[in-house]
Structure 1
Amino acid sequence: MVLAPVVLGLGIGGFLDGIVIHQVLGWHHMLSGWYPDDPHRNMVADGLFHLVCLLLVVVGVVLLNRRSPLPARVLWGGIVAGWGVFNVVEGVVDHLVLGVHHVRHGPDQLVYDLAFLGFGAVLVALGWVLAGRRVS
């Protein structure tokens, strides 16, 4: 897998998580597991999270521009795999280990967290296959 599109996918995956789950659906915020009654702290944490996502996207674009153009399948495969890696790492660390937040708080939160991890694993596999398992 080529590093540049994976880094780009990490940032895009983070943006998709933050925009869809945090903002559109309102299921959680970055620190809602630790500070459920502090909307200001959660808003600031979500903003810092989005800044990190933006930094990952910028780094991914810079890395892409430092190399020869990639075939579309490698680019998109890497982006999809990077999104999956984001889901898996964020799901394990934030949801399961630290309890910073869960995908959707409530009695079924483990089901949502495991579905998020499963979706991430599917994205990693799909990206790997799409990219043609190329390593460089």
Structure 2
Amino acid sequence: MATTTHAGEPPSRAAGLMYGLGLGGFIDGIVLHQVLQWHHMISDVESPRTLAGLEVNTMADGFFHLATWFLVVGASIVTIAQWRQGRLAPSWSFHLGLVIAGWGIFNLVEGLVDHQLLGVHHVRDDLGGPLSWDLAFLASGVVLIVVGWLVHRRGLDPR
């Protein structure tokens, strides 16, 4: 039986942000780790230039993808729970803006933690001076957050 304690209320922002975090992680893992092969999750800790190193990096990439998958599943659970509470469905701008902002949050946090603080990899591990790529990745996070928030705010307008 569905609970209606929040019937008619607008949706929370949690699901959209979680979708953005998870999908942003998938884009990073699929495009940068697998397609372009610029880096792996721990390529500055264990070089992927040997078979053993590539195996360890591939496993770390797999755990990273599991984490992003759990974020998307969690976002789906939050969405269904909100529907069961009777909350209103979000507008496209409300939801898409949060997804974009969540992707930006992913880029910003991942760039600060993995690239700068822990140093487990950089955007381009195949270059001698990866700092400019790391800074561009951080900047992309800021841009995505700002653009996402502006799109999201447009979805708050009742007109």
The code of the aligned residue for 1:76 comes to L
- Number of residue-to-residue matches in the alignment: 134
The code of the aligned residue for 1:90 comes to E
Which runs of at least 4 in structure 1 moved beyond 3 Å after TM superposition?
none
TM-fit CA distance, 1:64: 1.4
Higher relative contact order (Cα pairs below 8 Å, separated by 6+ residues): 1
1:90-120 CA-partner distances (Å, limit 9, x unpaired):
0000001110100002223000000000001
Supply the RMSD in Å over aligned alpha carbons.
1.3
TM-score w.r.t. length of structure 2: 0.81
Percentage identity across paired residues of the two chains: 46
Which residue does the alignment assign to 1:65?
80
1:1-136 map, 5 Å: 2-37=13-48, 38-67=53-82, 68=87, 69-105=89-125, 106-132=127-153
CA–CA distance in 2 between the matches of 1:12 and 1:29? Answer: 17
Instruction: Give the SS at the match of 1:29.
Output: coil
Larger of the two Rg values belongs to structure: 2
TM-fit CA distance, 1:62: 1.0
Q: What stretches of structure 2 of length at least 5 have no aligned partner?
A: 1-11
Instruction: Give the SS at the match of 2:39.
Output: coil
Q: What stretches of structure 1 of length at least 5 have no aligned partner?
A: none
TM-fit CA distance, 1:9: 0.5
TM-score w.r.t. length of structure 1: 0.94
The code of the aligned residue for 1:15 comes to F
